[in-house]
Amino acid sequence: MKYLADIGSYFIMLKQVFSRPTKGSVLKELILKEIDELVIDSLGIVIFISFFVGGVVAIQTALNISNPLIPDYLVGFATRQSIILEFAPTFMSIIMAGKMGSFITSSIGSMRVTEQIDALEVMGINPLNYLVFPKIIALLLYPFVIAISMFLGILGGWVAGVYGGFSTSDAFIRGLQEDFISFHIVYAFIKTFAFAFILATVPSWQGFFMKGGALEVGKASTNSFVWTSVLIILTNYIITSLLLS
């Protein structure tokens, strides 16, 4: 019963996010601030993780294909497929659920605890539009983060494969080009947009409706990570079933 009430409150929140808009000039500033805090500030960790995970994927693939019947370009092919189809969009989003999601939940939760959200309401401002809508708009840039992740993941695979002696540069690049289906890129970005929406709204919902004090802010951040990850995994399954199967 509680889960039904939670789902209901999430959708009611979404309705309110898009009603009673905040003044345009203020909204513009809020969106730029959110782009800085959510997108730009995430680039460092995305670059670091993507590059090294790409490298690990290439090494692992190379070490598991000692059979001479398997073509040598498979390292590049497997790295490309893993990074584009799953690692960059899905697993990077789960990592972002921890980084970005906890930040969103704890900042909105702290505002709830210290009556800052009440202050917005008393002033006649729609706090959900003021706090959540700019995050949704800012995360429309999230696919660019994932594009960077894709590029660096493959680059990391190439560096590890070639300089680690697991593949030649020609074979790796041939693997990247082999049997390329451009719809896979479209599929990856469709699900990235869905994950961006989940990343902006689920942690906001957890923070906005939390009750209690500082301890509960911490609990809400943990719940936020769990809920966001679960929803990303479920959405990934549904979109994959619809678009690829």
Partner 1 sequence: MIRVENLHKSFGDEEILKGITTTFEKGKTNLIIGQSGSGKTVFLKCLLGLFDAEKGEIYYGEKAINDMDDDEKKELREHMGMVFQGGALFDSMTVEENVMFPLRMFTKKKKDEMLHRVNEVLDRVNLVNANKKFPSEISGGMQKRVAIARAIVNYPRFLFCDEPNSGLDPKTAILIDNLIQEITKEYDITTVVNTHDMNSVMEIGEKIIFLQKGTLAWQGDNSQIFKTDNKDVTDFVYSSDLFKKIRDIQNLEG
Nearer to partner 1, 114 or 177 (CB): 114
CB of 205: closest distance to partner 1 in angstroms? 20
Q: Which residues contact 122 (CB under 8 A, 6 or more apart)?
A: none
Q: Is 212 in the site for partner 1 (CB under 8 A)?
A: no
Indicate whether 169 belongs to the interface with partner 1 (CB under 8 A): no
Shortest CB 28 distance to partner 1, Å: 12
Considering the rule CB under 8 A, would residue 215 count as an interface residue with partner 1?
no
Does residue 25 interact with partner 1 by CB under 8 A?
Answer: yes
CA dist 97 and 128 (Å) reads 20
- For the chain, give the number of residues: 245
The dihedral over CA atoms of 171, 172, 176, 178, expressed in degrees to the nearest 10, equals 20
Q: Which of residues 112-151 bind partner 1 (CB under 8 A)?
A: 114-116, 118-119, 121-125
Helix (H, G, I), strand (E, B) or coil at 164: coil
Least distance (Å) between residue 110 CB and partner 1: 8
- CA 204/CA 209 separation, integer angstroms: 9
Q: Are the CB atoms for 53 and 152 separated by under 8 Å? A: no
41 binds partner 1 (CB under 8 A): no
Q: How far is the CB of 118 from partner 1 (least distance, A)?
A: 6
Q: Is there binding between residue 242 and partner 1 (CB under 8 A)?
A: no
By the rule CB under 8 A, 23 interacts with partner 1: yes
CB of 173 to partner 1, least distance (A): 47
- 3-state SS track over 65-112: CCCCCCCCCHHHHHHHHHHHHHHHHHHHHHHHHHHHHHHHHHHHHHHH
- Binding site residues, partner 1, CB under 8 A: 22-23, 25-26, 110-111, 114-116, 118-119, 121-125
